[in-house]
Amino acid sequence: MTADGGDESTADRPVALVTGASRGIGAATAHRLADDGFDVVLAARSRDDLDAVAGEVADDHGVTVHAVPTDVTDAEAVAALVDATLERFGRLDAAVVNAGTGERRNVPLSEMPLEEYRRVRATNVDGAFYTTRAVLDPLRETGGTLVFVGSYKGKYPSTSTPVYAATKWWLRGFAKSVAGRVGPDGVAVSVVNPTGVPTDFGRDVRERSNADRLDSGDVLSTDDVADAVATAVAQDAPGAVAELDLFRRDIYERF
């Protein structure tokens, strides 16, 4: 689906790709980057949810929005996503690696089905790798920005969700290593690490999603995280936001 808004030629606007864009942080990021003047490509597995967000972003911000249903655990599907982006817009200026999933909370490792472990790894690790590999060459062409949405749990242990935390630790190490390779090519690489956000994250595998479990008045919002991503994307060369920790103000009280 392509949703068009406004009269300005898309050739005059930069282009951003956002994975996991059908809800939560991904949808908020799509709105935020569109508000900054980006045409946006939205990727997620759910076509209906993705099309709904695409229509909202186009209507609200007057940009062109291209929705491409994509399973990031499928390397060929991710490559096709980037091909579709370049075919539609001819360029890519920012890519936001946001798609992610988690495991059930407080499940003993001896009782965690291997399929559950593999599912988290496939989305959070393999999906991030496939997306990164596909977007780097187009980003080199534009001197663009690659943003990874990490987590507070990628810097501190999580006894309740150790597999999810481990994938986010991997993501940080991968991002910083990739930065060492592509920084000399003019590509900025950023990691944004938020604490908990009340979204539908976890709704497929847990009794309560983050939206049900977290008090929205005491934690970050999706817009807060989207603003942080936009801050990273907005940096001009030679500067780059290497890492941005976006924590609730009382987070260290837990220690």
Residue numbers annotated as active site: 164
Give Cα separations from 25 to 31, 148, 218 (angstroms). Answer: 10, 12, 17
Cα separation, 44 vs 47, in Å, equals 7
Specify the amino acid at residue 108.
P
Residue 1: half-sphere exposure toward Cβ, Cα within 13 Å = 21
Strands 65-69 and 39-44: parallel
* Nearest residue to 27 via CA among 69, 63, 56: 56
DSSP label at 124? Answer: I
In what order do the strands lie in the sheet containing 145-149?
A: 2-3, 65-69, 39-44, 15-19, 94-97, 145-149, 188-194, 243-246
